[in-house]
């Protein structure tokens, strides 16, 4: 785990708690994306839906973007978030199991990208279809378990020990480091994972660029999603 590079000022009793809304939205988006991918991958493996060239190309792009987001989210936790939590909570928290989960997920993400990319040029490749089905199921199940444990064990630690200022710095670094060229995907993809009634409040917590991206690219994302998942 990388050391914190700025002065951390832990939350004191009576201080306001951090707002974990956007963190929760990221979790819901990853879980929904993994579940949708696993369901589709099984139908592709079983041959119950056609894999047209356009669908194969869009699927490979979806897998690339989704796995990149999962990796960036976990990398941000390992390099920015976890050091802040450790410096704030000290011995009250053990983050190593969560870092180990991240390490376990990385090769799965790599295999999913390779399999989906291969299907663009070799749509009938049975090994690639099997890999996509198997590893997307593993990803779905691991993410469900990992996120359940993180929200059960780490969210209360964040609320108790991490100051609003330090958490906002963490969120700012995560959002700033996200590739702007991928916002057309990230924002509508994330928004699609939450009920419509929750969207305005969630978007209000994000930078202006994220809100503009949602307004501009929601239609593009819906068409992209429809092409892949029907």
What pLDDT shows up at residue 177? Answer: 85
Is 92 inside a domain boundary? yes
Q: Is the pLDDT of residue 163 over 70?
A: yes
CA angle 95, 91, 145 (to 5 degrees): 25
- Is pTM, for the whole model, over 0.85? yes
Is 10 inside a domain boundary? no
| Residues 6-23 pLDDT 10s | 689 999 999 999 999 999
C-alpha atoms less than 13 angstroms from C-alpha of 175 in its C-beta half-sphere: 18
Separation of alpha carbons 113 and 108, rounded Å: 9
- 84: nearest Cα among 4, 21, 164: 4
Residue 122's contacts (CB-CB under 8 Å, 6 or more residues apart) are 128
* Residue 151: its H or E element: helix 126-161
Give the mean pLDDT of the chain.
Answer: 95
Q: Indicate the number of domains in the chain.
A: 1
**The CATH number of the domain where 128 resides is what?**
1.20.120
Is 11 inside a domain boundary? no
- 1: nearest Cα among 78, 74, 73: 78
What pLDDT shows up at residue 6? Answer: 66
Is 105 inside a domain boundary? yes
Percentage of residues in the chain with pLDDT exceeding 90? 94
């Amino acid at each position: 785990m990388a050391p914190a590079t700025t002065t951390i000022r832990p939350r004191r009793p009576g201080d306001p708690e951090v707002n974990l809304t956007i963190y929760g939205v990221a979790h819901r988006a990853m879980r929904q994306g993994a579940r949708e991918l696993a369901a589709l991958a099984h139908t592709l493996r079983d041959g119950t839906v056609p894999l047209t060239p356009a669908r194969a190309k869009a699927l490979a792009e979806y897998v690339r973007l989704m796995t990149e987001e999962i990796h960036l989210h976990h990398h941000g936790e390992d390099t920015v978030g976890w050091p802040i939590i450790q410096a704030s909570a000290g011995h009250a928290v053990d983050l190593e199991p969560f870092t180990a989960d991240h390490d376990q997920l990385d090769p799965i993400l790599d295999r999913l990208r390779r399999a989906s990319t291969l299907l663009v040029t070799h749509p009938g490749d049975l090994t690639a279809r099997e890999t996509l089905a198997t590893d997307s199921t593993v990803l779905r199940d691991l993410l469900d378990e990992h996120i359940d444990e993180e929200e059960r064990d780490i969210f209360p630690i964040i609320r108790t020990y991490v100051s609003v200022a330090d958490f906002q710095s963490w969120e700012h670094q995560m959002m700033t480091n996200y590739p702007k060229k991928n916002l057309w995907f990230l924002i509508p993809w994330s928004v699609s994972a939450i009920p419509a009634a929750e969207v305005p409040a969630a978007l209000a917590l994000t930078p202006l660029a994220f809100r503009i991206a949602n307004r501009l690219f929601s239609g593009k994302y819906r068409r992209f999603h429809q092409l892949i998942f029907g």
